[in-house]
Amino acid sequence: MVDLLEAKDLREQLAAGSAPEGLSEVDGLLLFHGKAFVPDSSELWPQLLADAHDMGHEGFQKTLHRFRPSFYNAHMSRRVRDYVKGCATCQHNKSEHLHPAGLLQPLPVPSAIWSDIAMDFVEGFPKVGGKSVILTIVDRFSKYAHFIALSHPY
């Protein structure tokens, strides 16, 4: 509820005594649960984001962690994420820590029945006759399958 209202509206609600829970005003500064409330329309956002992120370019989580103890805004995580994604320094100097995806390699085609099988356990069923797990065994050549009910632990 606080995130949709502007500072002027919140001050009027404080004066009327109908402000949301946790909202107060100290020395002209709106506080929400002890944190400075920064409305969405504030012109301070670019400077606040730059101060919190540009000191180390440490990413979204650490930048957000710097904001949370002192400031409140319902859309703060979205603003920080957008700022970090758009940071030219981070885009230029940091890379993804993932291996490049390669081409999928097909499995070899089996040459005889029951020479190549696939097995899997399916769990999470309600107990029926003391059994709650199904072991599935599938022949990859003929697609013939066996389903064996097991009790847990097996």
* All domains in the chain, ordered by first residue: 2-93 (1.10.340.70), 117-150 (no CATH)
Burial 45-62 (b: 16+ CB within 10 A, else e): beebbeebbeeeeebbee
Q: Evaluate if residue 105 carries a pLDDT over 70.
A: yes
User: What is the predicted pLDDT for the residue at 52?
Assistant: 85
Identify whether the C-beta of residue 32 lies closer than 8 Å to the C-beta of residue 22: yes
Apex CA 18: angle with CA 12 and CA 21, to 5°?
A: 110
Confidence of residue 128 (pLDDT cuts 50, 70, 90): very high
Confidence of residue 1 (pLDDT cuts 50, 70, 90): very low
DSSP letter, residue 27? T
118 vs 58 pLDDT, higher one: 118
- The Cα 33–Cα 75 span in angstroms is 16
- The Cα 132–Cα 30 span in angstroms is 57
17 vs 4 pLDDT, higher one: 17
Say if strands 133-139 and 71-72 run parallel, antiparallel, or are unpaired. unpaired
The most confident of 25-39, 53-67, 101-115, 132-146, by mean pLDDT = 132-146
101 vs 146 pLDDT, higher one: 146
